[in-house]
Amino acid sequence: NAGVTQTPKFRILKIGQSMTLQCAQDMNHNYMYWYRQDPGMGLKLIYYSVGAGITDKGEVPNGYNVSRSTTEDFPLRLELAAPSQTSVYFCASSYLLSGAINEKLFFGSGTQLSVL
């Protein structure tokens, strides 16, 4: 019963490098989300997707890209990594859009990313 799987758990990047954070869910959820969490701060939405082929920006999308070619996978791409992208990244999925009545998000275990 995997739920939401994120890889890698930890990563160190040099400034200007690129990488992809992987996220997969096996619950057949249409909705998927990427959040970042900075120390002492709440989660902030980067991008979300309401289904395969459909993505939209959240609160803090700059410096990131996403794609959703299948229902299961929602990778987050960092292009030209910057120190400001040092954070913990969480992927989540849900049956309904966040905020729908009684809906809840299922989270991955997070990716701790440092850009040096």
Partner 1 sequence: ELKVEQNPLFLSMQEGKNYTIYCNYSTTSDRLYWYRQDPGKSLESLFVLLSNGAVKQEGRLMASLDTKARLSTLHITAAVHDLSATYFCAVYMDSNYQLIWGAGTKLIIKP
Closest alpha carbon to 46 in 24, 21, 64, 72: 64
Which of the stretches 19-27, 64-72, 74-82, 103-111 binds partner 1 when contact is defined by CB under 8 A? Answer: 103-111
> Taking CB under 8 A as the rule, does residue 45 contact partner 1?
yes
**Residue placing its CB nearer to partner 1 in the complex, 3 or 16:** 3
Q: Dig out the tokens for 14 from the structure.
A: 């040099």
> Taking CB under 8 A as the rule, does residue 116 contact partner 1?
no
Extended strands (E) in 29-110: 31-37, 43-51, 54-57, 64-66, 76-78, 87-94, 106-107
How far apart (Å, rounded) are the C-alpha atoms in residues 55 and 48? 6
**Residue placing its CB nearer to partner 1 in the complex, 65 or 112:** 112
> Taking CB under 8 A as the rule, does residue 101 contact partner 1?
yes
Q: Is the distance from CB of 31 to CB of 93 less than 8 angstroms?
A: yes
**Residue placing its CB nearer to partner 1 in the complex, 81 or 105:** 105
How many residues at the interface with partner 1, by CB under 8 A?
26
> Taking CB under 8 A as the rule, does residue 3 contact partner 1?
yes
